[in-house]
């Protein structure tokens, strides 16, 4: 890999003692490394040690005229191709989530345009606290990437999640973050989340899609330099960094939004769980129980929604179009039938009967089903990892001119 500029931001946890080893690992991979520390980090690791292994002056004081004169905090934020925050304490995570900038590290993190990779390290109860988990969701939504924490014996004496990942693992994650902008100049259209088909003013027919899979795909495309339009159905997720979002509710609204953006798109990925049917008519007022006889049943008549994927595939031209298939049984055969019927370049099939993959969870286990008949089975991966594998395949497909 070509040499890149990495800023290592260190906060005040016991795992800071691993920072010099991380600097050495990153430098061995050929990168230029500078270090910035919070005032608390200096209690766990010496700036002299970091200076010795990085070969660079270590910055720690936002208001030190000498330090600022050498390289100011905005200059440091601009200098980095990637910022690695390791270890990241619960306190720093909270400050990042809420945009605080009360020391050098937080000021740099607020000012940077570079991607940020975070290696959390904290007590297991601090990690699982709802406040920390909410902060994580906020940061994930902004495109911040995470490596770890690992599970094991913690410095505080507790066992569980909270150990900072090993320097070698963090360096590998950094290499993934430094992926070149192979999608620069491409417009990528992604759909995500479920649709909600109105029954009346308060009720709808919907499904369990959280949007996580599609949002990870949009985020990955943006990371690779694409102009990304994300058409989001029902979801509570934050818009990923660098992504333009269009919110919709029903399948018909999603269809309109897809067609409004389709002309400019060169790559389309349809990860949304679009309802196949909608109530034939929706009441604009709440249907009252009293309108029915006591104990009477109510019948909802449904009509088919348009198949958006199939429609766009019929106007494909030189675009690359990827569909998903959510299957509960006979996954491969069903995905192959969908691929043939809809006419896309690739189907990403997932077995939604698994509890650890598919809807709602952070991981997915997918199969890439190709028109040639080839089927590639991927292991259980974070949805971000599935997204990265997907764009690797899309890149090859476009390079080969087969899409």
Q: Which residues are CB-neighbours of 35 under 8 A, at least 6 positions away?
A: 7, 8, 9, 10, 19, 23, 47, 50, 51, 54, 56, 58, 59
Among 12, 96, 323, 391, binds ligand PMT (CB under 6 A): 323
From the CB of 309, what's the least distance to ligand PMT, in Å? 3
**How far is 367 from 379, CA to CA, in rounded Å?**
9
Closest CB to ligand PMT among 33 and 274? 274
Q: Catalytic amino acids? A: 156
Q: Is 270 in the site for ligand PMT (CB under 6 A)?
A: yes
What is the distance between the alpha carbons of residues 207 and 356, in angstroms, rounded to a whole number?
17
Query: How far, in Å, CA of 95 to CA of 89, rounded?
Result: 10
Cα 321 from Cα 331, distance rounded (Å): 20
Residues that contact ligand PMT, how many (by CB under 6 A): 27
Q: For ligand PMT, which is the closer residue by CB, 44 or 359?
A: 359
Q: Does the footprint of ligand PMT cover residue 213 (CB under 6 A)? A: yes
- The least CB distance from residue 307 to ligand PMT, in Å, is 5
Which H or E element spans position 68?
helix 65-70
Question: Out of 72, 281, 360, 377, which residue is the one contacting ligand PMT (CB under 6 A)?
Answer: 360
> Out of 132, 204, 210, 250, which residue is the one contacting ligand PMT (CB under 6 A)?
210
Is residue 352 involved in binding ligand PMT (CB under 6 A)?
yes
Residue 385's nearest CA partner among 355, 343, 348 is: 348
- CB count in 10 Å sphere of residue 30: 10
Point out which span in 79-87, 103-111, 205-213, 374-382 binds ligand PMT (CB under 6 A): 205-213
- Beta carbon nearer to ligand PMT, 26 or 321: 321
Q: Which helix (H) or strand (E) holds 8?
A: strand 5-10
Question: Which span sits near ligand PMT by CB under 6 A: 108-116, 179-187, 280-288, 303-311?
Answer: 303-311
Interface residues with ligand PMT (CB under 6 A)?
193, 209-213, 251, 270-274, 276, 305, 307-309, 323-326, 338, 350, 352, 358-360
């Amino acid at each position: 890999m070509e040499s890149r500029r990495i800023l290592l931001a260190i906060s005040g946890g016991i795992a800071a003692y691993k920072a010099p080893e991380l600097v050495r690992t990153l430098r061995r991979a050929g990168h230029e490394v500078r270090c910035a520390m919070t005032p608390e980090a200096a209690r766990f690791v010496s700036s002299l040690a970091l200076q010795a292994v990085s070969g660079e002056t270590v910055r720690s004081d936002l208001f030190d005229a000498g330090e600022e004169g050498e390289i100011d905090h905005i200059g440091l934020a601009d200098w980095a191709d990637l910022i690695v925050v390791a270890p990241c304490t619960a306190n720093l995570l909270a400050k990042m989530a809420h945009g605080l900038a009360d020391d050098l590290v937080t000021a740099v993190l607020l000012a940077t345009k570079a991607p940020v990779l975070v290696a959390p390290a904290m007590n297991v109860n601090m990690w699982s606290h709802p406040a920390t988990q909410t902060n994580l969701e906020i940061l994930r939504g902004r495109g911040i990437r995470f490596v770890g924490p690992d599970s094991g014996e913690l410095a505080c004496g507790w066992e569980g999640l909270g150990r900072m990942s090993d320097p070698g693992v963090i360096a590998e994650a950094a290499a993934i973050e430094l992926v070149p902008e192979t999608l620069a100049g491409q417009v990528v259209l992604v759909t995500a989340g479920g649709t909600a088909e109105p029954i009346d003013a308060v009720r709808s027919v919907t499904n369990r899609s959280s949007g996580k899979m599609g949002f990870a795909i949009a985020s990955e495309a943006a990371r690779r330099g694409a102009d990304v339009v994300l058409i989001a159905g029902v979801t509570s997720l934050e818009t990923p960094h660098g992504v333009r979002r269009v919110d919709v509710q029903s399948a018909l609204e999603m269809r309109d939004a897809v067609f409004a953006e389709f002309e400019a798109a060169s790559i389309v990925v349809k990860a949304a769980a679009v309802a196949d049917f909608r109530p034939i008519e929706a009441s604009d007022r709440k249907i009252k129980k009293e309108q029915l006889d006591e104990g009477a049943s109510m019948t909802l008549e449904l009509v088919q929604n348009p198949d958006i994927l199939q429609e766009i595939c019929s106007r494909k031209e030189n675009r690359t179009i990827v569909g998903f298939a959510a299957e509960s049984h006979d996954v491969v055969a069903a995905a192959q039938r969908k691929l043939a019927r809809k006419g896309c370049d690739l189907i990403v099939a997932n077995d939604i009967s698994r509890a650890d993959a598919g809807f709602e969870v952070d991981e997915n286990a997918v199969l890439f089903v190709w028109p040639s008949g080839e089927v590639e089975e991927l292991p259980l991966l974070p949805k971000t990892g599935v997204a990265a594998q997907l764009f690797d395949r899309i890149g090859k497909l476009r390079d080969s001119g087969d899409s």
